[in-house]
């Protein structure tokens, strides 16, 4: 049984990347393998924006991450540096900076590269989308 | 401890990808991973020393700090460099780069635990 870490550096509407990562993770789980964590980095942090609204019948990645967490308890780690400069902020930062709303909420959790690299020690495979 | 090969494929200032890729590489060694870097495609332009502009992080200066983060294995795709007119003399002095063929890159990829691309 292999343990996977997923590195997401593409945004939610970057071509079909979000659909491919969904298919990949579903396949990993079907095989009986596990996904330890998903690390949202670079443009990937836009996946975690709670203010993004579903449009028509398009695949809505946000819901997928919520479902993944609910069923697998996969850690959804969001790079704090990459997120705050793109306007994806938690309640704490919103308060600190006088911003009206927070768009980063549980089960997504803020993390640094350090947490990702520490978790990587327990992962057999790292796959980037 | 895992061995990571980090490929840089973008120009230094065309997007924030190069900057975030370098942040990624520098953090990895801090947390006990072995890192090799490979510059290919437009990534070879990152090796050319660039002037400082106010408000923009100087990418070549940051890149030159790699040895202080224990990133000593630095490879450059020979084909990408030749196609873009970047030769050995254009590479910053601070970087000790080894030019590699396609076959050598395959070897690098297969000998690494993980490969990521920025």
B43-B48-B50 Cα angle (round to 5):
110
Q: Note down pLDDT in tens along chain A; length 129 residues.
A: 999 999 999 999 999 999 999 999 999 999 999 999 999 999 999 999 999 999 888 999 999 999 999 999 999 999 999 999 999 999 999 999 999 999 999 999 999 999 999 999 999 999 999
A30 Ramachandran zone, left/alpha/beta (phi>0; psi -120 to 50): alpha
CATH number of residue B108's parent domain: 3.40.1260.10
Name the superfamily (CATH) of residues A3-128. DsrEFH-like (3.40.1260.10)
Per-residue model confidence as pLDDT tens digits over A81-95: 999 999 999 999 999
Residue B30's pLDDT band (cuts 50, 70, 90): very high
Domain residue ranges of chain A, discontinuous segments joined by +: 3-128
**Does the distance separating the beta carbons of A128 and B27 come in below 8 Å?**
no
Whole-model pTM: value is 0.94
Query: What letter would DSSP give residue A75?
Result: E
**A121 near B CB under 8 A:** yes
Going from the C-alpha of B84 to that of each of B5, B93, B94, the distances in angstroms are 23, 19, 21
Question: Mean pLDDT across the stretch B88-112?
Answer: 95
Q: Which residues of B16-50 are buried (b: 16+ CB within 10 A; e: fewer)?
A: bbbbbbbbbbbbbbebebbbbbbbbbbbbbbbebb
CA atoms within 13 A on the CB side of B17: 19
| Whether A117 and B117 lie within 8 Å, measured CB to CB | no
Note whether A41 contacts B24, CB cutoff 8 Å.
Answer: yes
The whole-angstrom distance between A14's CA and the closest CA on chain B is 15
- Per DSSP, which regions of B9-113 are E strands? 34-39, 73-77, 97-100
Give the separation between CA A34 and CA A51, rounded to whole angstroms. Answer: 29
N residues, chain A: 129
- Structure confidence at residue B1 (pLDDT): 87
Compute how many other C-beta atoms are within 10 angstroms of the C-beta atom of residue B109: 12
**Residues spanned by the domain of B106:** 3-117
Q: Given this model, what pLDDT does residue B108 score?
A: 97
pLDDT of residue B35: 98
Domain count, chain B: 1
Identify all chain B residues contacting A42, using CB atoms and an 8 Å cutoff: 16-17, 20, 118
The phi and psi torsions of A55 (rounded to 5 degrees) equal -115, 115
Selection from A14, A10, A74 nearest residue B116 by Cα: A10
pLDDT per position as a tens digit, B56-72: 999 999 999 999 999 99
Count of residues in chain B: 118
């Amino acid at each position: 049984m292999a343990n996977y870490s997923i590195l997401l550096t593409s945004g939610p509407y970057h071509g079909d990347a979000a659909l491919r990562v969904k298919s990949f993770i579903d396949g990993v789980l079907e095989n009986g393998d596990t996904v330890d964590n998903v690390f949202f980095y670079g443009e990937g942090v836009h996946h975690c924006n709670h203010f993004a609204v579903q449009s028509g019948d398009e695949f809505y990645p946000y819901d997928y991450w919520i479902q993944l967490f609910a069923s697998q308890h996969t850690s959804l780690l969001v790079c704090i540096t990459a997120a705050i400069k793109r306007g994806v902020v938690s309640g704490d930062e919103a308060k600190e900076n006088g911003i009206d709303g927070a768009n980063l909420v549980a089960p997504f959790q803020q993390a640094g590269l350090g947490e990702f690299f520490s978790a990587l020690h327990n992962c057999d495979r790292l796959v980037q989308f | 401890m895992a061995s990571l090969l980090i490929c840089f494929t973008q120009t230094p200032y065309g997007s924030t990808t190069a900057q975030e890729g370098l942040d990624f590489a520098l953090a990895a060694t801090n947390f006990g991973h072995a890192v090799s870097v490979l510059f290919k495609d437009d990534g070879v332009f990152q090796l050319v020393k660039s002037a400082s502009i106010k408000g923009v992080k100087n990418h070549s200066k940051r890149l030159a700090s790699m040895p202080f983060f224990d990133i000593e294995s630095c490879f450059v795709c020979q084909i990408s460099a030749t196609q873009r007119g970047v030769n050995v003399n254009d590479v910053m002095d601070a970087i000790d780069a080894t030019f590699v063929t396609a076959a050598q890159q395959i070897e690098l990829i297969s000998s690494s635990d993980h490969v990521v691309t920025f």
